[in-house]
Amino acid sequence: MMNDEKVGFKFPIGLETAGKTIRLSDEFESIKEAIIIILSTQKGERIMCPDFGCRLKEYMFEPLNSLTEELIRHEIIRSLTKWEKRIEQIEVTFGKAEQGVLKAYIQYVVVSEGEKDGTEFKIVMV
């Protein structure tokens, strides 16, 4: 059963339409936003936490084949396992790459709820 309680600031941070309160996310939204932040941050990019993030940009110029997909899958699972403790049983599949963009479909179980959820993340491949 999904908990509608708001747990944190919505990403990107912004104001509600009335402009008097900061937008907030429930747990499911917060997890999806955290996944985007983790996968969009290159390791070494955060000076005070150089190990945070994911090495997806290292695969940008690699040939898009099954080996590269497996390396990307492993990197996504490794990064999310390390940095997003609210999820488990992470699975990653890919859609067909179009115009240099590989779509990763990330499925997981939200630990606190025991429910499956997922999100999509686009990876730029040149």
In a domain, 74, yes or no: yes
If one counts the domains in the chain, the total is 1
Q: 98: domain range?
A: 8-124
Would you say residue 73 lies in a domain? yes
Q: What is the pLDDT along the chain (126 residues), one digit of tens a residue?
A: 455 665 665 656 565 666 667 666 678 888 999 999 999 999 999 999 999 999 999 999 999 999 999 999 999 999 999 999 999 999 999 998 888 999 999 999 999 999 999 999 999 998
Query: Do β-strands 24-26 and 6-9 pair in parallel, antiparallel, or remain unpaired?
Result: antiparallel
* CATH number of the domain to which 66 belongs: 3.10.450.40
Compute the CA torsion angle 100, 97, 85, 54 (nearest 10 deg). Answer: -30
Q: Are strands 87-94 and 101-110 parallel, antiparallel or unpaired?
A: antiparallel
5 contacts: CB under 8 Å, gap ≥ 6? 26, 27
- Token duo for residue 61: 């110029």
Q: Is residue 1 part of a domain?
A: no
pTM, entire model: 0.83
What is the greatest pairwise CA distance in the chain? 50
Q: With respect to residue 2, please indicate whether it lies within any of the assigned structural domains.
A: no
